Amino acid sequence: MLWLSLLTAASALRVVVATPIAKFGDFAVKHAWAESPQGWELHSDAPADHILSLRIGLKQSRIEELKAHLLEVSDPFHSRYGQHLSKEEVEDFVKPRPESVELVESWLIAHGIDPESAITRSPAGDWLNLRVPVSLVEKMLDTKYNVFRHRESENLVVRTMSYSLPRELHDHVQVITPTTMFGGLRGMKKTSFLNPKPAPESLIEGTPFAGQAGQAVPTSCNNAVTTSCLQALYGTTNYVPTATANNSIGIAGYLEEFANAADLQTFLKKFRPAAAGATFPVVEINGGLNTQSDPGVEANLDIQTTVGLTFPTPNTYFSTGGSPPFIADSNTPTDTNEPYDQWVAFILAQTHIPGVISTSYGDDEQTVPLDFAESVCNSFAQVGARGTSLLFSSGDDGVGAGNCLTNDGTNKKLFQPNFPASCPFVTTVGGTTKVNPEVAVSFSGGGFSRVFAQPSYQASAVKTFLTALGKTNAGLFNTTGRAYPDVAAQGNNFQIVVGGSIESVGGTSASCPTVSSVIALLNDFRLSNGKSTLGFLNPLLYANPSALNDITSGSNPGCGTNGFTARAGWDPVTGLGSPNFPKLQTVALAAP
């Protein structure tokens, strides 16, 4: 049976004496789609008694002040560099204004919802969580919910093509979910893929070999990338972490992907013998899974890469739910949550979080509603302000996959940036391949946001690139948008273990945990020298481009074009280049 037994409206909410609804009758559209997001199609009407786990994000009172603080503590030339905020200090910046809370509560009461008994709140009070039947949400948001089907996976979700709010609430409510956000489920893409066949055993180097950044790396690494290849290529072979009591790295996983502990041991015995026996805790968020059966290629790639490179630094895998069936709640048979939103809310509620977190998932930016994108990106700024580096893969479609037509009804052909890669408060990682020298890998995602403005920390580097580019690809991208990637690393022919067997994997999913691991080692180095974690990385990286290995050849075709071409300095294929750990150590130590 498609729909399981559902709670009734009466059991989901405690009805209270309502303020007249007429007070909130003047609606204005908050967000609307011109057509169903790519990959999704209308299936049926949503049952009126289906229960939605509604999340209301209130406008944060001092979010712009928090962003200014973030840039100050991330600027190596500022006197406040490294002075990260505590959990409580961040929450003070983002708590909503009292008048926002009062007005939204009045609106809820007008619909018979008791704010005291029916709502749970985030620690800062900027998120309200409640369970509401579709019939009532449709009245609250002046909309119609439907069941949509994802063509590829055939999964079903309850969403709406548009939603509205009373005009007097627009200045007080940032976003409401689930509404028009489709891409956070099966539409969300993991940025990895299996190569047709593993590399020949003769090319797989299992025994660690010495190497420093800039020195020759064995030619076998051209076709089979192992932990030893990465250590040699980026200069971490001889570094031994010592601040393991205070330092850690996290890996964010979605789409029912989880890392297999037995496969990790097989991998370590083969490729990092000194780390054999290393384990990692799994934190399950929003119904995330960890059954240890049918291991995920993406998850295994992430955890095997990070443990192999950072041992004995503690690793944590975050398994975040958000793909049907929604096992954690029998009253919600189809998914009603957006994983990025759920994941970052969980992270911000923790007192202690890892110093660096790697995420190898993304969506086409145009499939993400503006209100949702801004809300999530602002949350990432909060994480950065607390001293954690957030890294995201840039995607595996070059400048865009498919026909690259816009979804606003105009069907205009444009390069298609990715989100969260396009958020200005994360560090985005592109891909390279080959050694001696490294070159850009053709699928490396890169480009310019059509949502977020270009931040000051990268303005000079991007201007230099655009000047050299001239009129190439003119009109296909937003020259004033946030440009990405910021850095890059190897992204093809990674040798990992899946189900007990060695597989060859590619994608910027490999690049992201690689760079994240280098950052974790840099955090270890700073902590062991009495300094703070690096936190938000971009201002430091753009101020010190010579601390990375510049990649000057290769391109990222897409959208029926040759895309962009790597060149000296920053470019939207490989960013500033790949890590050079010894040089980055010098930069990290010099920073306050």
Q: Which residues are annotated as a binding site for Ca(2+)?
A: 550-551, 569, 571
Give the chain's largest Cα–Cα span.
76
CA angle (314, 341, 542) in 5-degree steps: 65
Among the listed residues 61, 360, 394, 509, the single catalytic one is 509
| Known active-site residue 371 | no
Among the listed residues 256, 302, 371, 396, the single catalytic one is 302
444: how many CB neighbours lie within 10 A of its CB?
Answer: 36
Among the listed residues 298, 341, 365, 524, the single catalytic one is 298
Buried-state track 244-282, b at ≥16 Cβ within 10 A, e below 16: eeebbbbbbbbbbbbbbeebbbbbbebbbeebeebebeb
- Give which of 1, 61, 4 is closest to 329, Cα–Cα: 4
| Known active-site residue 302 | yes
Q: What ranges make up the beta strands (E) of 230-376?
A: 249-253, 282-285, 315-320, 356-359, 361-364
- Give which of 277, 227, 240 is closest to 524, Cα–Cα: 240
The type of residue at 179 is T
Binding residue positions: 550-551, 569, 571
Residues forming beta bridges with residue 482, ordered by sequence position: none
| Known active-site residue 509 | yes
Side-chain-side CA neighbours of residue 389 (13 Å):
32
H or E segment and range at residue 462: helix 456-469
Residues 271 and 227: beta-carbon distance below 8 Å: yes
Q: Torsion over CA of 552, 491, 321 and 293, rounded to 10 degrees?
A: 180
H helices, E strands: number in the chain: 14, 27
Asked whether the bond before 485 is cis by omega within 30 degrees of 0, the reply is: yes
Question: 229: Cβ–Cβ under 8 A, 6 or more apart, which residues?
Answer: 205, 217, 218, 220, 221, 435, 490
Q: Which residues are catalytic?
A: 298, 302, 509
